[in-house]
Amino acid sequence: MIAYKGVCKSFDGGRYHAVNNVSFAVQAGETLVLLGSSGCGKTTLLKLTNRLLEPDEGIIEVDGQDISHQDPISLRRRIGYVFQGIGLFPHMTIEANVAMVPRLLGWSRSTQREKTNQLLHMVGLSPDSYARRYPEELSGGQQQRVGVARALAADPEYLLMDEPFGALDALTRDMLQQEFLSLKKRLKKTIVFVTHDIFEALALGDRIAILHAGRLEQVGTKQEVVGNPATDFVRDLFGKAAQQLAAYGGML
């Protein structure tokens, strides 16, 4: 479980809070989607979760332990991170990118290669065809698959995903969303998934946490946030897409 308790973060000395007194918990094994527009605090909250940033106030707990008392490197090795811009190292092969964390952990070369091959197969990329290529030789969708494989390489307990499909074309994005749903059923990881897309949130999340201007508006299942909005903002957010939501009635 990941728990946020009164978490605050400001970058200007407290005049404006990117994250403002946020409290909620992510349950073990669930996919919780952080939904909101750019600048609402979604990515800041992810970076606070693995101590790329430190909160000004409040506590974040992972498995009941305050992460401020944990070694940041050890913490990050337990939490896979899929970046918004993919973040592959261009001078490294696909195999080397995926094996980066296992290599840092001192795994043998044979174990690294075995794990890399397994993960590339899992994300739909044949190791024989892709392991020795470089990121520039892959499409955006293929690079994103590699990013997911790299995040899973050390078998982390948790997975943070920062708009992983946001820069892809609609067809590729839809395909990867479907593959993500299949993958999460198999892996049973605890996932925090950031998006600004309402329909992506409805399709992928077990629950949705809606952020606005750094504040948490509501946390609930898709049925709860659509059918019983807690604030005017949540009501307006989904109301604007009411006709489209009706067309996607299978989501609810």
Beta strands in 37-139 (DSSP E): 57-62, 65-66, 79-82
Phi, psi of 212 (to 5 degrees): -150, 120
Question: What is the Cα–Cα distance from 45 to 81, expressed in whole angstroms?
Answer: 13
Give the pLDDT confidence of 102-123 residue by residue, as tens digits: 888 889 999 999 999 999 988 8
Rama region for 156: left / alpha / beta (φ>0; ψ in -120 to 50; rest): beta
Query: Mean pLDDT over residues 40-58, rounded?
Result: 94
Q: Where are the domains of the chain?
A: 2-251
CA distances from 190 to 70, 80, 142, 184, 205 (A): 19, 10, 23, 9, 11
pLDDT of the residue at 187: 82
Alpha-carbon 162 to chain mean position: 5
Give the pLDDT confidence of 75-102 residue by residue, as tens digits: 888 898 887 766 788 999 999 999 988 8
Give the pLDDT confidence of 182-207 residue by residue, as tens digits: 888 888 889 999 999 999 999 999 99
Q: What average pLDDT does the structure give for the chain?
A: 89
Superfamily assignment of 2-251 in CATH?
A: P-loop containing nucleotide triphosphate hydrolases (3.40.50.300)
pLDDT of the residue at 205: 93
Question: What is the Cα–Cα distance from 209 to 239, expressed in whole angstroms?
Answer: 17
Q: Give pTM, 2 decimals.
A: 0.88
